[in-house]
Amino acid sequence: MSGSDQDPQSENNADVVQMHVERLSQEVLELYRQVNLFYRLGDVFGPGLAPDEICRLLIKESAKVVRARSAQVVLDDGFKVGSVPSQPASRLKVGIETLEGRLGEIILYDKKAGFFTAADEKLIRAVAQQAGVALENSRRIHGLVRQNQALERLNAELRAIDQMKSDFVSNVSHELRTPLSSIKGFASTIMQDSEMPLDVAQEFVGIINEESDKLIIIINDLLDVSKMLSGHLKYNLGVQPLEQIVEKVVTLLGIQAEAKGLALGFDLIDIARVNVDATRISQVFTNLIANAVKFTDTGTIRVQQWVAENRVHISVADTGIGIREDVLAHIFDKFYRVENVVHTKEGTGLGLALVRGIVDYHGGSVDVRSTEGEGSVFTVQFPLAQ
């Protein structure tokens, strides 16, 4: 056999060895890519990332590792990020899954050299798994943050309510002490002065009677609000003309308005029959009109009734001191009093809360428009009786 001749068996063995070397080289390369990828993923998907940031990083890392031209992430909650080519030549879709379940998927398009392989899918699955863990952690963290913020808001509201209740107790104590002190003082004076002239005694008794009425109003408001909060406030509904209820209140409070030099009038534009508890509705307008008288020093108070859109509207407009814009949203809250008049005007802060509760029960609504220094307009609406 000449030197130039080669053993076919040797050539075959060499080819097999070469194939094994190439395969092992490819496997080593793949292992290197995986190790390098896993090493970087720990830093890439760090804590504190928002879901959209995690998805963008998932696209960036996945496209880099398999050399895809574009990619898109679609989460099961509807969130999408990334780009989709109009006519992709190839694509690879991998689910984003964790032990908690499926979160979405990543789709890669158009590998720069050739087509996506099983090895590519394996790598992307590993990336997607890491991204899924990061998404779960992010959602938990953001959920805890939202819960913490909600608890902080609730605590602030509870502190505000607690402060309002403390102020309420102080206000009610003051409101009860004032008439009680008057009653005690005038009664003691009458008892100690056996020679008091009859006209003076009658005047003192009249004051005692007026102060007793104030006590009755305060105590009734307290009882009614307590019943309303517990759901035990009684209502006796019946269909009746609303204008008759309103007119009686206007007539009753006309004496108080006249004593302050105020013009109190009732403009009846439309009559209306409503299904209401007359006593409770009288309480509503007594509160509204009495407040208008209380907070108006000069000018007029006009009560007006009209019908529109199958509802009856009653407005109470005054030319009083008005209400600051920043407190308008709170005036119907229980125990709330406007601070700019708390020391100069009487009141427990229960009247308007009672008004809203009664109006709401009847399927109505009450709102207010006011300009500080110019006056206020309270408007109540009720559905017409069928």
Span 118-174, pLDDT tens digits: 888 888 888 888 888 888 888 888 888 888 888 899 898 888 777 767 766 766 776
Domain encompassing residue 305: 238-383
Considering the domain boundaries, does residue 156 fall inside one?
no
Examine the pLDDT at 6 and tell me if it is beyond 70: no
Domain closes at, from 129, 144, 159: 144
> Measured between alpha carbons, how far is 167 from 164 in angstroms, rounded to an integer?
5
Domain closes at, from 192, 210, 230: 230
User: What pLDDT shows up at residue 342?
Assistant: 40
Residues 174 and 247 in one domain: no
Residues 244 and 221 in one domain: no
| Position with higher pLDDT, 84 vs 228 | 84
Beta bridge partners of 301: 264, 318
Residues 379 and 242 in one domain: yes
User: What pLDDT shows up at residue 147?
Assistant: 87
Q: Identify the CATH number of the domain in which residue 27 sits.
A: 3.30.450.40
**Number of domains composing the chain:** 3
**DSSP, res 99:** T
The per-residue pLDDT of the chain, averaged, comes to 84
Pairing between β-strand 263-268 and β-strand 300-308 as defined by DSSP bridges: parallel
Residues 377 and 248 in one domain: yes
By the 10 Å C-beta count (0-12 exposed, 13-18 middle, 19+ buried), 151 is classed as: exposed
Considering the domain boundaries, does residue 353 fall inside one?
yes
Query: Six-digit token pair at 242?
Result: 């609303």
Task: Of 92, 111, 94, 113, give the one whose Cα is nearest residue 102.
Answer: 94
Average pLDDT for 188-199: 89
User: What pLDDT shows up at residue 344?
Assistant: 44
Q: Identify the CATH number of the domain in which residue 214 sits.
A: 1.10.287.130
364: pLDDT confidence band, cut at 50, 70 and 90?
A: very high
Considering the domain boundaries, does residue 122 fall inside one?
yes
Residues 113 and 191 in one domain: no
User: What's the Cα-to-Cα distance from 57 to each of 127, 141, 177, 206, rounded to whole Å?
Assistant: 10, 19, 69, 83
Examine the pLDDT at 359 and tell me if it is beyond 90: yes
Positive or negative, the Cα torsion across 156, 162, 165, 167?
negative
Residue type present at position 174: H
Examine the pLDDT at 216 and tell me if it is beyond 60: yes
Phi-psi region of 288 (alpha: psi -120 to 50; beta: other; left: phi over 0): alpha
Examine the pLDDT at 194 and tell me if it is beyond 90: no
User: What pLDDT shows up at residue 26?
Assistant: 67
282: pLDDT confidence band, cut at 50, 70 and 90?
A: very high
Residues 209 and 281 in one domain: no
Q: Which residue has the tokens 């019946």?
A: 238
By the 10 Å C-beta count (0-12 exposed, 13-18 middle, 19+ buried), 86 is classed as: exposed
User: What pLDDT shows up at residue 305?
Assistant: 97
